[in-house]
Amino acid sequence: MLNDLDTPQFRQELQRRLARCTDRLKHEHDADKIEITLFLALFLMPETRKIVGGKKPLPLGVCGLVTTIYEDSFDQAMAEIPEARDIIGDTLYDLWCARHSKEDMAVIHAAVEQIDAFEELAIRVEGDPALTRAWQRQESYLIEELQTYMGREGLSIEPGFFTPEEATLPLAMMQRRYWNKPWSPSRYSMMLAMMNMVRCVLETVDEIVSPERMTQISQGLKTVGQMCLKADNERLRALVPNIQAAIQHLQSETRPSQNRVITTLYLMSLLLAIDEESLSPRWRRFFERTQKSRLMRRFTRAAGLSTDS
């Protein structure tokens, strides 16, 4: 982008502004800053390319002043242009969020330290634009961190998010649709069986998670958030921002099966509900092979779980 913006007119404008800055600094008698502006002005001159033995001017991308101005302008665009998020795409958006990670997390942790009840956090987020931006930028990271913790340690709540009967519905669907039919390719191809199992899980999530259920899950997570806030365990207390991010993510306008928080909670319930001793030989072989499957690893990783759980 800086190469696209790099025109003689653009460099002349930078030089003009640097000259004004230098004049202003002369009155302030700040020798260090004057030295920097004079160096940058030299950097932007066309003659500089001869000094370094090149045929083209030094690229703007190696000038810290220019990259800083560009990054500040990028931040302003993200704040003021509604369609900016769609324009830049996921990759650049993730890089932008990562660049602000340290400052955003400092703002988030400071807000957590100032509350006595978990529900106060949502009120603070809604009333503070800087805090809102920080949470939006770090939402994906916070949810991913929560998924990793849940996959490793679990997340206790009573009553549970899904009953054992609900959690094992995909197994019954898989049996009914595919394995009970002698001609089904899923009986003979483990890859097809795994793909169809994923479909059964996602279809079940869409069927059983209604808007009312989403509200119940959100309330359940608020209970977990309050528990973490008051916990003596520092690791649990550190999860408060992650729980709030999960609650906010539940409000996204996507199908339940596309919601990372919902799929994580459901897969946790499914893994906990499986009774290995009561499984048929076919199901035992399936889960043994699943642990070694790249397909299932990608699916469970996307939900924050491990196939070894």
pLDDT tens digits for range 69-96: 889 999 999 988 989 988 999 899 999 9
pTM assigned to the model: 0.74
Contact 267, 155 (CB under 8 A): no
Over range 250-275, report the average pLDDT: 87
- C-alpha–C-alpha distance, residues 58 and 42, integer Å: 11
- C-alpha–C-alpha distance, residues 265 and 253, integer Å: 18
- Residue 22: partners with Cβ closer than 8 Å, 6 or more residues away: 34, 37, 38, 41
3-state secondary structure of 7: coil
pLDDT tens digits for range 38-61: 888 877 776 666 555 566 777 788
Residue 252, pLDDT > 70, answer: yes
Over its C-alpha atoms, the chain yields an Rg (Å, rounded) of: 27
Kindly report which listed range (103-107, 214-218, 301-305) carries the lowest average pLDDT score.
301-305
Contact 84, 77 (CB under 8 A): yes
For the chain, what are the domain ranges?
A: 2-80, 104-302
Residue 119, pLDDT > 70, answer: yes
Query: Which of the 8 DSSP states describes residue 175?
Result: I
Kindly report which listed range (27-31, 110-114, 177-181) carries the lowest average pLDDT score.
27-31
Contact 48, 58 (CB under 8 A): yes
Residue 309, pLDDT > 50, answer: no
303 burial (CB, 10 Å; 0-12 / 13-18 / 19+) is buried
Residue showing tokens 């930028």: 137
- C-alpha–C-alpha distance, residues 76 and 52, integer Å: 35
| pLDDT score for 307 | 42
| pLDDT score for 282 | 86
